[in-house]
């Protein structure tokens, strides 16, 4: 997603929140504002659109008119209750006065009641959309043209005129094969990965694999019951670390960085500049937040909150945005911070974060000052420290490649003088990501996801199990 589009979508998300939660709006004013919002979303993506178009001699009014290949007339409703069949009947009659080839859509922010769904089953001239469809374009998950193309294709294939978002992004008939991992004892990595480790540090290669280029790993996170979630650009893979079996946790192309497993079994992940949540039991895919253009990462806070770290404007002179995620699109709270070279934010506690960057890093409290003073910068231990995590609010762990295949895992205690300590030296093409947690015994356990593809174009993930001392050695 380009930066201009991302910034415009952020503004429109704020308007969407006001429409949803703002007091003092009459139904008529909310409806008119909803029409304008839909038109502005379409224009943000580069399409011609007009809101509240009066018909010839004032005989009718089209809520939104737009052109994407076809001419569309769209009836937008934001009622207190699910929509009845009456607006569908009226739009169907209006379509008869429009040129052949005109398409008609009814969009209801509150869904449709049984009468409306029964009516649409007997007619083929309308397409229905709900809040998830407009939120998908509002968050940046889908271009409106792609959305409409997929909706009409699924309608033609199945006859369903209210196609759930999951059915066009996660079709049952097109789930790809799951990337597999093997025990390193049976399929060792192409070369020895672990070189040296500090006193009290245990590191062992547990799993390896050779994946396809469209399965390139980009993140790792821990999940309950001995599971790991490995994000690829083909979806999120769940690995059972006891059995070694893999399966799809979310087979959604375009995912990136870490995924987060909720206590309800849901999976939340970044995809195409938007944050989405997948409920596998109900097959419900929900846009949660968006407008994350540029480079974005997802972090699960220690208090259960989700944070998205977004680097924009280039590494040399850019800034970062740290967003606390809410329940619905538009609920996010954004903090803009001038900080070049940022790679990841690690949540420490409350509103405090550690910004891990190339060249320098720093700790910051976004509740006190949305800025980063160079006086507080700490020289980074490795270039490109995207693999960063921490077992508590004081200890920071980062991994990266210093040069060629020379990898290093480093530790920093924020309570002490800003000096990094090397815990592990390893050999890899890339340190992809890192996940750690404090155990009941006080030690730190976790996993390092690295790549050992050598000169091959196929990603070769390597999973290193880590056990670290309570405090940094030395």
**% of the chain with per-residue pLDDT over 70:** 97
**% of the chain with per-residue pLDDT over 90:** 83
Q: Quote the pTM value.
A: 0.95
Average confidence (pLDDT) over 167-192: 94
Q: How far is CA 113 from CA 15, 96, 167, in A?
A: 27, 25, 20
Evaluate if residue 53 carries a pLDDT over 90: yes
* Count of all residues that appear for the chain in the document: 474
- Write down the pLDDT at residue 342: 85
Evaluate if residue 13 carries a pLDDT over 90: yes
**CB-based contacts of 361, cutoff 8 Å, min separation 6:** 354, 355, 377, 378, 379, 380, 385, 396, 398
Predicted confidence band of residue 293 (pLDDT cuts 50, 70, 90): confident
Which range among 244-253, 293-302, 401-410 shows the weakest confidence by mean pLDDT? Answer: 293-302
User: Which residue do the tokens 């968050």 mark?
Assistant: 139
Evaluate if residue 199 carries a pLDDT over 80: yes
Average confidence (pLDDT) over 168-174: 90
Evaluate if residue 473 carries a pLDDT over 60: no
With contact defined as beta carbons under 8 Å apart, do 413 and 397 qualify?
Answer: no
Strand locations in 214-294, DSSP E?
Answer: 217-223, 227-232, 235-240, 246-250, 255-261, 267-271, 274-279, 284-289
> What is the C-alpha radius of gyration for the chain, rounded to an integer number of angstroms?
25
- Write down the pLDDT at residue 471: 60
Q: In the predicted model, what is the mean pLDDT of the chain?
A: 93
Predicted confidence band of residue 371 (pLDDT cuts 50, 70, 90): low
Average confidence (pLDDT) over 283-307: 94
Predicted confidence band of residue 77 (pLDDT cuts 50, 70, 90): very high
Average confidence (pLDDT) over 164-186: 94
Q: Rounded to the nearest 5 degrees, what angle is found at the Cα of 100, between the Cα atoms of 95 and 104?
A: 40
In the sheet with 182-183, reading across from the earlier edge strand, the strands are 182-183, 202-208, 461-468, 444-451, 430-438
pLDDT tens track for 311-369: 876 545 568 899 999 999 999 999 988 888 888 999 999 999 999 998 999 999 998 86
Structure tokens at 173: 């008939």
pLDDT tens track for 141-153: 999 999 999 999 9
- Write down the pLDDT at residue 468: 93
- Write down the pLDDT at residue 313: 66
pLDDT tens track for 98-130: 999 999 999 999 999 999 999 999 998 999 999
Which residue in 333, 337, 329, 278 sits closest to 311, CA to CA?
337
What kind and span of H or E run contains 408? strand 406-413
Greater confidence, 284 or 371? 284
CA 39/CA 64 separation, integer angstroms:
6
């Amino acid at each position: 997603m380009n930066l201009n589009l991302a910034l415009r979508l952020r503004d429109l998300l704020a308007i969407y929140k006001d429409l949803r939660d703002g007091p003092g709006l009459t139904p008529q004013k909310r409806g008119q504002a909803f029409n304008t919002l839909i038109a502005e979303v379409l224009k943000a993506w580069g399409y011609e659109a007009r809101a509240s178009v009066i018909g010839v001699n004032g005989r009718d009014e089209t809520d939104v008119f737009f052109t994407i290949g076809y001419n569309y007339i769209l009836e937008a409703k934001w009622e207190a209750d699910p929509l009845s069949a009456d607006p569908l009947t009226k739009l169907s009659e209006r379509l008869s006065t429009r040129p052949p080839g005109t398409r008609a859509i009814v969009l209801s922010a509150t869904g449709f009641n049984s009468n409306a769904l029964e009516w649409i089953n007997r007619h083929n001239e309308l397409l229905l959309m709900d809040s998830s469809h407009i939120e998908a374009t509002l968050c940046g998950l889908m271009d409106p043209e792609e959305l409409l193309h997929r909706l009409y294709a699924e309608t033609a294939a199945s006859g369903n005129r209210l196609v759930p978002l999951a059915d066009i992004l996660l079709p049952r008939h097109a789930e790809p094969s799951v990337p597999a991992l093997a025990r390193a004892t049976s399929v060792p990595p192409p070369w020895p990965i672990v070189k040296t480790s500090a006193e009290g540090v245990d590191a062992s290669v547990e799993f390896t694999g050779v994946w396809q280029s469209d399965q390139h790993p980009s993140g790792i996170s821990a999940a309950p019951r001995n599971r790991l979630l490995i994000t690829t650009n083909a979806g999120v893979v769940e690995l059972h670390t006891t059995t070694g079996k893999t399966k799809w946790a979310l087979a959604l192309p375009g995912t990136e960085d870490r995924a987060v497993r909720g206590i309800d079994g849901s999976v939340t992940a970044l995809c195409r500049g938007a944050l989405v949540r997948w409920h596998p039991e109900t097959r419900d895919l929900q846009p949660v937040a968006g407008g994350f253009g540029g480079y974005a990462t997802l972090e699960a806070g220690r208090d259960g909150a989700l944070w998205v770290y977004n680097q924009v404007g280039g590494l040399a002179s850019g800034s970062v945005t740290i967003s606390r995620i809410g329940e619905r699109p538009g609920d996010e709270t954004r903090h803009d911070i001038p900080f070049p070279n940022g790679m990841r934010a690690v949540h420490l506690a409350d509103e405090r974060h550690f910004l891990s960057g190339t060249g320098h890093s720093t700790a910051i409290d976004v509740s006190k000052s949305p800025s980063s003073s160079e006086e507080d910068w700490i020289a980074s231990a490795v270039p490109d420290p995207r693999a960063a995590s921490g077992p508590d609010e004081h200890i920071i762990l980062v991994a990266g490649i210093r040069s060629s295949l020379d990898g290093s895992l480093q530790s920093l205690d924020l309570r002490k003088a800003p000096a990094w300590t090397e815990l592990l030296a390893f050999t890899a093409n890339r340190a992809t990501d890192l996940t750690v947690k404090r155990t009941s015994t006080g030690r730190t356990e976790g996993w390092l996801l690295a790549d050992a593809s050598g000169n091959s174009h196929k990603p070769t993930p390597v999973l290193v199990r880590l056990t670290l001392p309570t405090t940094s050695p030395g």
